[in-house]
Structure 1
Amino acid sequence: MEKEIYLIRHCEAEGQPFEANLTKRGSKQAKQLSDFFSKIKVDQIISSPFLRAIQSIEPTSNEKNIDIDLDERLSERKLSSTDLPDWLEKLEATFEDMELKFDGGESSQEATNRAISVIDEIIKSENQITIIVTHGNLMSLIIKQFNKEFGFENWKSLSNPDIFLLKCKDNEFDCERLWEVE
């Protein structure tokens, strides 16, 4: 059976904290996501527990009458527990060296492993079509797992929201971007 996994980066938010709300524009984008999925059959929705991720998919969840399953493994990646003034350069380095890890942070490989464990469970499940809502960096790492060319510049070009479709059939994977950037 072919599996379809819609990877969604959350809509525009007021900030990075766990409890950051969507902006007014982000709330409109969440409605646009609901419109996007209106004619697509969905079996399950799994989201990062961060408020901005949940709020991004709530209109779709309500429209389809499907509960949102929260999964910590889809949480924002923690680059470091200390403030990094040059965080962008540090992040870029973690795309090149998947094992690179900063003080109190998580390596790209560690983040990839936790995210891919969610993908593996979906592939083994009975559900055919799943929506995953996560964050840009983690979504990029998931895509990189299936497309080695996907890197830092691709991450920089992501929008809020963004949607990629990961298809799996007979252990063959295909990933394509679906969201039309405004």
Structure 2
Amino acid sequence: MIGSKMNKIAKLETYKDVITKVICDPPLPLCNFRKCHVCRDFVSSLQTELMEAYNDHAVDDQQWTSTDRPQLHTVTMHLDEFAENFSEKVVIKLVRHDFKAKSQSAFLKQKKEVLVDGEFVVIGDFSDNFPFVVQDVAQGYHWNNAQAAIHPWVITTAMNKTFCIVR
């Protein structure tokens, strides 16, 4: 919800502030998947706070849409729709994503710390195709669709040596 003036709500400056507002402190694993009976209603209280913070009946918001490529569009929504959209699509997915990312990071860190001789950790990323950017080209080059697929791999050994392979 880019550009939606969320700073009108007290202490919601970053996504981490939103997460801490809708889960228990300290959070339990159940909180991250909306199964906790204590913080289950925190999202609806955030929704109520959103309704009170905006006096307008309509809210301008920027959202990513993707058909054949992602684009940022400005969307005007009724306040009820915006509050529901924010709480359901953003907050709930954000809390789950944050938990999964932190769990995966902690797992990888733990695996790297307990490596013994002869073991290694391999991390691969299957990235998108990247188009070439060429300066001062002829006008006809605009229609050239040449791209490069980059596949980075990182190998970490027990001796804390890291090797990177880009293919």
TM-score band by shorter chain is: under 0.3
Q: Determine which structure has the larger strand proportion and give its number.
A: 2
TM-score normalised over the length of structure 1: 0.24
TM-score, structure 2 as length reference: 0.26
Question: Rg: which structure is higher?
Answer: 2
